[in-house]
Structures are given as C-alpha cells and as structure tokens.
Amino acid sequence: MERDIISWLEWHHFKVMFYHEDGDGICSAALVLKKFPDFKYHAREGPKMENSFLANLIRKNPELIVFLDIPVDQEWKTIEEIKSKLPNTNIIVIDHHIPEKDLNSERAIHYNPRFDKKDVYLPASYLVYKILSKRFNMKEHAWIAAVGIISDYGHKDCREFIEQVRKDNPDLLDYKNDEDIFKTKLGKASEMISSAITMKGLWGANYTLRKIVASDNCDEFLNNQQLLRWHRIVREEIDRIISKFESEKKVYDDLKLIIGDVESKFNVTSVIASILSKKYVDKIIVLRKKTNSGWKISARNQTLKLNIGELIKKSCEGVGIGGGHERAAGAIINDWDTFEKNLISNLRVQINCCS
C-alpha cells in the first residue's frame, strides 16, 4: 500500500491536500511538500465537511485529494458523494485515529495502522515519513517527523525512531527521560507550532507549514522571530490559566477525575489539557471552554487504563459530538450538565469493569 500511495502522489498533477490543524498534521503535510511541492494545501479543524467545502472541492475538480491526520472516514457518506460527483478523482487518507469505516476502494487508499492492530498509536507524521522513505532518502527531514510525533505525544510509542533521531542529532534531543522531551529543541519546535495555531488558527497553521518547508534544518525554524513572539505571548497566557485552574479545579477523587474551566480569547484548551495531563499523570483531565453555541471540551488520560476517546464519545450522546484517541479526546457539546452526568456515569462503569 505504501508504494501505491507514492505512485499516486507521483503521477497525479492537480493535487489538493488537507491536513489537521495541529503539530502532527502540519509536520505530515511538510514532509509531503518537501518531496511534492506542487500541492495546493489547506488546514482543517477536523473531519466535518460543510456544504461550502464540498461545493468548492467539486468546482475545483482535482485529480487527487489527500487527507492527512484527519479521520474523514467519520464522514464516509460525504466521501462517497465526492467520489460520485468527481468520477475522475482519487483519494488518499493517511490517518491514525480509531477508524470508523474502511474507505479503501479502487479510487481510494485509506492507510491506517489500526486496521491491523487496534491499539497501536503511530502519529501521522511518523506514517508519512515511513511511506515516503520507501521512495526517497528522508533522513535530512527526520527532525520534522520527530516534531510531529512529539506534538502528538507519540514519542513513547515511536521510541525506536525517536532514539535514532536522537543518535543522529544529539543537540536536538538532549534529554534524560520522556517527561523532559519538551525541553529539547524539538520539543520547543512543537510548542512554537502550537502557539502559532493558538494565535492565528488555520492561517497560523498554514504560515507555520510554509516556514517548516522553507527551513533547511530545525535551528533555522526555531529562529523565526514571528513564531518566537507568538510563543512568548501564548506561554504567558497558559501560565495564567493554569494558575487559575489550580485554585478552582473540581476534583472527583474516587474517579481520578479533575474538571476545570478555561477562559481565554485564545484557543488554548487542548494545549493546557495536555500540559496538565503531564502533571497529573494518574488522573483524567477534562477542561471546558464556553462558546457561542455551547462548550468546547478537551480531555486527556495518560494512564491508558481506559480509552478516553471512547469515554468522551459515549458521554456526548444526545448533547454533541466528540471522540479521539486512548489518551486524548475532544468534543463540542450544547448541554454541560447532561454531559457531566454522562461522563461520571460512564466513567464509573469503566472503572468497575477494569477493577
């Protein structure tokens, strides 16, 4: 399948690429663009494909559509509509989320290691790197894949790859334990990407992607003054919110659950949830942020004793939509009280099953 992906990337001309608006998605796209710079590319917040997106795609009529780090199989009916209305278009999906439907067909390649091994966790940037390595010497771009892996907290699962990058570039990964990896140069690069997205959203993702592709090495990327300025601003905001969280958090000791609020003009809920999960490694972190239509939820679980993605997805039933991985999940809901009751009830069931 890897060689089929490469051949499709090579012989299609009018190509459009959509990548997830996070560090893993950005680094996945950067690796592709390093070898196939003729792509038109756009960042996406998630798999949801609105009518305007679909109409614009049909109007452009690309020969190839690539989705990176986006679980578009959750929108499989829309994918089928795309295939129906664009009969000469092929589709590639490279993803590592828990699959909902296998999209593989004569005109679609759906690459997800979870088809073969349900519990494997391999970020998309790692998958793209390995796929492209079948055709190209990707060693000089290994730092990009490593940044994507670190951004998605996949460094423990991709330990062999990370250790090789560390051996080849000791100055980029100078750390003694897994918790210190974010203090390295590659860890800082992942934080800079996150800060750009926090400050500027989809535009910031595209800006960062262009800077990674234009950088010959990690040090060149780290010296980007605009990215450094955004990083400082976001870091100050995160410190403020975490301080408030510590004084106001709601703790359920029996469930090992901590719930907190995020109040900020920046989109930092997911970032802060990840930071707190490193501090409270034996707890489930659930953060909520009020939006115009309801609540944005970010949840984390570093213990792997339960699947936080499945827990959040089930707790959203009737009040919104959500899901994710074993360790990280997100949701958009319209009724917090019902969601919280569902969450506590479902969590008790899972704890009882695991005990």
Instruction: Report the distance separating Cα 299 and Cα 257, nearest Å.
Output: 10
Q: pLDDT digit string (tens) for 137-153? A: 999 999 999 999 999 98
Checking if the pLDDT of 345 tops 70, the result is: yes
Burial class (CB in 10 A: 0-12, 13-18, 19+), 236: exposed
Checking if the pLDDT of 177 tops 60, the result is: yes
Contact 142, 129 (CB under 8 A): yes
| The residue to which tokens 């510590």 are assigned | 246
| pTM exceeds 0.95, yes or no | no
Question: Backbone phi, then psi, for 323, in 5-degree steps?
Answer: 155, -165
Domain 2-226 has CATH 3.90.1640.30: yes
Type of residue found at 119: D
DSSP assignment string, 283-348: SEEEEEEE-SSSEEEEEEESS-SS-HHHHHHHHTTTTEEEEE-SSEEEEEES-HHHHHHHHHHHHH
Q: In CATH terms, are 2-226 and 249-354 the same topology?
A: no
Q: pLDDT digit string (tens) for 248-303? A: 999 999 999 999 999 998 888 988 998 899 889 899 999 999 988 899 999 999 87
Domain 249-354 has CATH 3.40.50.300: no
- Can you tell me the mean pLDDT for 188-201? 94
- Can you tell me the mean pLDDT for 198-209? 95
| Residue ranges of domains in the chain | 2-226, 249-354
Of the chain, the end-to-end C-alpha distance in Å amounts to: 40
Q: What is the mean pLDDT of the chain?
A: 93
